[in-house]
């Protein structure tokens, strides 16, 4: 066993975060109209989420209002600067101040946000806030084990696989096996530096295509 600073970490606050490519705004009902447009025709993107797809705007508005009021999970709307339109959400959840552990989760990206610099920056903004501003030692990512895209995203960001929680949850009436990933405090600086190097303007050509993969910056 290793001795650690035992002081509880602060609970994150609902405050905006901003970067070069994206703004994160505390989720609010006023985001509903833009998120409804972003979600139309994107039913498949909710396949592994515990909620959605939303057949009517009122259903999405109810989800947004409920999520915005939660005390155990803090949601942010994602607004890429290229479009100025709210195009997804993500959260800090399963917050354990006494264990200094926190999860980046409940991530939904509209098709227009997927595979963009804004999407990557949105995630690193919250990870960096949790690790550096608040001092959390353990950053967690978990997903449905069938969700290959989510598992690939975790590996791309530098999360380490921890194994499988079998029959961990029931989601939409089905048994879910959950794949677990983490980044620890001593690993975070290298992961952060790789992501920031990938996001740097010099890594993109005039068309906006990345010249090097994120993994290549980790050596």
Q: Does residue 216 form part of some domain?
A: no
pLDDT reported for residue 1: 74
Q: Does residue 109 form part of some domain?
A: yes
Sorting pLDDT into bands at 50, 70 and 90, what band is 4?
confident
Which secondary structure element, helix H or strand E, spans residue 194, and what is its range?
Answer: helix 188-199
pLDDT reported for residue 171: 94
Average pLDDT of the chain is 96
pLDDT reported for residue 219: 72
Q: Does residue 115 form part of some domain?
A: yes
pLDDT reported for residue 200: 96
Residue 52 has pLDDT above 90, yes or no: yes
For residue 147, say if its preceding peptide bond is cis, omega within 30 degrees of 0: no
Q: What's the pLDDT tens digit per position in 89-120?
A: 999 999 999 999 999 999 999 999 999 999 99
Residue 218 has pLDDT above 90, yes or no: no
**Conformation bin of residue 161: beta by default, left when phi > 0, alpha when psi is -120 to 50:** beta
Q: Does residue 7 form part of some domain?
A: no
**Number of independent structural domains in the chain:** 1
Report the pLDDT averaged over residues 181-188.
Answer: 98
Residue 47 has pLDDT above 90, yes or no: yes
Distance CA 183, CA 169 (A): 23
Sorting pLDDT into bands at 50, 70 and 90, what band is 2?
confident
**Is the CB of residue 31 less than 8 Å from the CB of residue 64?**
yes
pLDDT reported for residue 162: 98
Q: Does residue 45 form part of some domain?
A: yes
Q: Does residue 218 form part of some domain?
A: no
Task: Report phi then psi at 108, rounded to 5.
Answer: -130, 120
pLDDT reported for residue 103: 98
Q: Does residue 9 form part of some domain?
A: no
Please compute, for residue 29, the number of CA atoms within 13 A of its CA located in the half-sphere on the CB side: 7
Q: CB within 8 A of 6, min separation 6: which ones?
A: none
pTM for this entry: 0.96
Q: Does residue 94 form part of some domain?
A: yes
pLDDT reported for residue 21: 97
pLDDT reported for residue 3: 84
Report the pLDDT averaged over residues 171-196.
Answer: 97
Task: Report the CATH number at residue 190.
Answer: 3.40.630.30
Instruction: Tell me the residue range of the domain where 58 lies.
Output: 17-203
């Amino acid at each position: 066993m290793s001795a650690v600073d035992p002081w509880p970490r602060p609970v994150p606050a609902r405050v905006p975060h901003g970067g070069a490519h994206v703004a994160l705004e505390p989720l609010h009902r006023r985001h509903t109209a833009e998120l409804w447009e972003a979600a139309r025709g994107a039913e498949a993107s909710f396949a592994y989420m515990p909620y959605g797809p939303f057949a009517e705007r009122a259903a999405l508005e109810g989800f947004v209002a409920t999520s915005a009021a939660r005390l155990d999970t803090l949601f942010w709307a994602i607004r890429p600067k290229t479009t100025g339109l709210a195009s997804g959400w993500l959260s800090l959840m399963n917050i354990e101040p006494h264990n200094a552990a926190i999860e980046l989760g409940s991530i939904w990206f509209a098709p227009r946000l997927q595979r963009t610099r804004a999407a990557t920056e949105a995630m690193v903004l919250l990870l960096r806030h949790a690790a550096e501003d608040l001092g959390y030692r353990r950053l967690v990512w978990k997903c449905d084990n069938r969700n290959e895209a989510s598992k690939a995203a975790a590996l791309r960001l530098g999360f380490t696989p921890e194994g499988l929680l079998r029959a961990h949850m029931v989601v939409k009436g089905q048994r879910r096996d959950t794949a677990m990933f983490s980044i620890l405090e001593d690993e975070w600086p290298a992961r952060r530096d790789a992501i920031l190097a990938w996001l740097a303007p010099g890594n993109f050509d005039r068309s906006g295509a990345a010249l090097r993969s994120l993994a290549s910056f980790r050596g």
